[in-house]
Amino acid sequence: MKLMRMSPAGGYAAVFAAACLWGLSGVVAKSLFEESVAPTTLVAVRLGGAAVVALVHASVFRRAELRRAWAHRGRVFALGLALAITQFAYYAAIALGNVATAVFLQYLAPALLVVWARVAERQPLSAGRVGAVGLAWAGAFLLVAGPAGLVVSPGGVAWGLASAVLFALYTVVARREVRSADPWAVLALTLASGALAWSVVVPPWVAWAQPYTPGQWLRFGHLAILATVVPFGLFLWGLRRVPPERAAILASVEPVVAALAAYAALGERLGAQQVAGACLILAAVLWTNWEGLREVPAPELPQPQTAAAPSRTSRPTSSSG
């Protein structure tokens, strides 16, 4: 079994790229909401389309890895369910409150993951981790809070907190899974599981049979591929190299990208308060990158085997780890 050394720099770059793609998707989702596309329907179409693309890719290029990931289908199904509910919780927070409330509450996840790392994994609570979380949290608040502050409703707060907890849970469980399995194979089964679970809420024949315009179909395609398959694949790949709490801090660059995209596409202005918030988040990202790259490199992990080099002397295991 071959071993490969995990490059921390590559992991940080992958998570950062994923966050940028998620940020760009915010403008697309907002435009669909303004055209009366329901959050439940958007989740169904987004997950369903992403699942088809990811499964086709994995079936063609990563067939052996897909079979090994299937051996862990129970945990993968739990990941898919968590992903589906996280997506809906975020959209519900927007619908019942506003984008500011949803984004700010979701970015409580880094703080939750730092607590998890301290309590469950006995990791030291360094000043650097606490400081980076604090900067990211303060920056997200300044970025998304308007002159009148956050518009808060009980339902919006509840769903926003749920999205933070579920995103933190997804990050922890996903990292454990991809440490011994191919990230793209895990992603394909995760998306398929999420789409299957969500079909109980919105059946595919209901979600996909609406009289959408060509422009709406194009935006659905963007959300399925460039806002789901690609960024979640990069995020899972990066989690093999980056601790969950640092990955969540890096992902907090998403509201910065979302604000810039809204300014460019929708003409939404950035005031001095929002610029200050963006600077704090970027500072947190730079801080966590600097600290992570100074740490001891991650241990070598088993490299997922491919079908191109089968072994005659050993039988394949259920996972590469």
Asked if the structure places residue 319 within a domain, the reply is: no
In this predicted model, which residue has the larger pLDDT, 159 or 129?
A: 159
Asked if the structure places residue 321 within a domain, the reply is: no
pLDDT of residue 303: 46
In this predicted model, which residue has the larger pLDDT, 113 or 24?
A: 24
Asked if the structure places residue 265 within a domain, the reply is: yes
Given a cut of 70, whether residue 15 has pLDDT beyond it is: yes
pLDDT of residue 289: 67
Asked if the structure places residue 57 within a domain, the reply is: yes
pTM assigned to the model: 0.75
Given a cut of 90, whether residue 57 has pLDDT beyond it is: yes
Asked if the structure places residue 307 within a domain, the reply is: no
Q: Across the chain, what does the average pLDDT equal?
A: 80
pLDDT of residue 1: 36
Is residue 249 within 8 Å of residue 285, measured between CB atoms? yes
pLDDT digits (tens, 9 = 90+) for 31-49: 888 898 998 999 999 999 9
Q: Which of 308, 303, 299, 298 is nearest to 2 (CA)?
A: 303
Alpha helices in the chain (DSSP H): 8-34, 39-61, 63-70, 73-96, 99-106, 109-119, 127-144, 154-178, 183-198, 204-207, 214-224, 230-239, 244-251, 254-266, 272-294
In this predicted model, which residue has the larger pLDDT, 195 or 240?
A: 195
pLDDT of residue 51: 96
Asked if the structure places residue 312 within a domain, the reply is: no
Per-residue confidence band for 295, with pLDDT thresholds at 50, 70 and 90: low
Provide the domain limits for residue 99.
7-295
Number of domains in the chain: 1
pLDDT of residue 151: 60
**Token code pair at residue 235:** 């995020």
Asked if the structure places residue 303 within a domain, the reply is: no
pLDDT of residue 305: 45
Residue with tokens 């490059």: 7
pLDDT of residue 296: 46
In this predicted model, which residue has the larger pLDDT, 182 or 120?
A: 182
pLDDT digits (tens, 9 = 90+) for 125-139: 677 778 888 888 888
pLDDT digits (tens, 9 = 90+) for 250-279: 887 887 887 788 778 777 677 788 788 878
Asked if the structure places residue 276 within a domain, the reply is: yes
Which residues in 29-67 are b (16+ Cβ under 10 Å) and which e?
bbebeeeebebbbbbbbbbbbbbbbbbebbeeebebbbe
In this predicted model, which residue has the larger pLDDT, 194 or 110?
A: 194
**Token code pair at residue 59:** 């079936």
